[in-house]
Chain A
Amino acid sequence: DAKTTQPPSMDCAEGRAANLPCNHSTISGNEYVYWYRQIHSQGPQYIIHGLKNNETNEMASLIITEDRKSSTLILPHATLRDTAVYYCIVRVVAAGNKLTFGGGTRVLVKP
């Protein structure tokens, strides 16, 4: 699985968009980008994933650059409940393939 690099922390104002970057310059053609988050004392929560096209769901948008070497997770209107550690993962999809979380970005949403 390709290595990812995320900033260790960032603050965001409540109600504003939060843009979380992730670098994955060694990504290969069959690797997908997944985002999870983990709120304190809870299990990881799946957010979104994509291969090369931009994706949107009820939680967030995922923007992947054309060369696929980086991506951005966008939380359109951050709330205090979005305070969490956000993990960007790049992996080959296969049944039984384990997940490996890096350090992630600790996001603090402030009122």
Chain B
Amino acid sequence: DVKVTQSSRYLVKRTGEKVFLECVQDMDHENMFWYRQDPGLGLRLIYFSYDVKMKEKGDIPEGYSVSREKKERFSLILESASTNQTSMYLCASRTGQGGTQPQHFGDGTRLSIL
């Protein structure tokens, strides 16, 4: 089974802090994604990566950056956390081989910015 592991289930940080969310997948997937999920707004794509050192902006990249130095790890960085970044953050991965393969998600990080 595909395993996508997010480093923290719950995280509390303060406004202005630099926050790192880590995601690791064990299936040698080329594609990795960061989403946030908010009530009433559904799932929104922040960034995704096709392969190592490659990244593409999603729908809401402002205030975020990403890093993909190794194939299995995709990090989301909140440069200067703000209260409106309080949310559930979800990482997903997907093989780049065969276009029909689904995305597989981690269990999420519930981030609170105080």
Residue contact A43 to B102, C-beta cutoff 8 Å? no
Given the complex, which residues of A lie within 8 Å of B96, measured CB to CB? 95
Listed in ascending order, the chain B residues whose CB lies under 8 Å from chain A are 4, 6, 30-31, 33, 35, 42-43, 45, 48, 50, 56, 58-59, 90, 92, 96, 99-100, 102-108, 110
In whole angstroms, how far apart are the Cα atoms of A52 and B33 in the complex? 27
CB atoms of B42 and A100 under 8 A apart = yes
A100 & B43 in contact (Cβ 8 Å cutoff):
yes
Contact of A94 among B42, B56, B99 (CB under 8 A): B99
Our pick among B30, B56, B107 for the contact of A43 (Cβ within 8 Å) is B107
Q: Are B104 and A46 in contact, CB atoms less than 8 angstroms apart?
A: yes
A93 and B98 CA atoms in complex are apart in Å by 9
Count how many chain A residues have C-beta atoms less than 8 Å from C-beta atoms of the other chain. Answer: 20
Question: A93 and B43 in contact (CB under 8 A), knowing A43-B107, A44-B105, A98-B33?
Answer: no
Q: Which residue of B lies closest to A42 (CB)?
A: B107
Chain B residue at minimum C-beta to C-beta distance from A92: B99
Residue with the highest number of chain A CB atoms closer than 10 Å, among B42, B43, B103, B108: B43
Task: Tell me the A23-52 residues at the B interface (CB within 8 Å).
Answer: 32, 34, 36, 41-46, 49, 51
Closest Cβ–Cβ distance, residue A52 to chain B (whole Å): 12
A50 to B42 Cα, complex, angstroms: 23
Chain A residue with Cβ nearest B109: A43
Given contacts A43-B107, A93-B100, A95-B31, 13 further A-B contacts (CB under 8 A): A41-B110, A42-B108, A43-B6, A43-B92, A49-B100, A94-B99, A95-B50, A95-B96, A95-B99, A96-B48, A98-B35, A100-B42, A100-B43
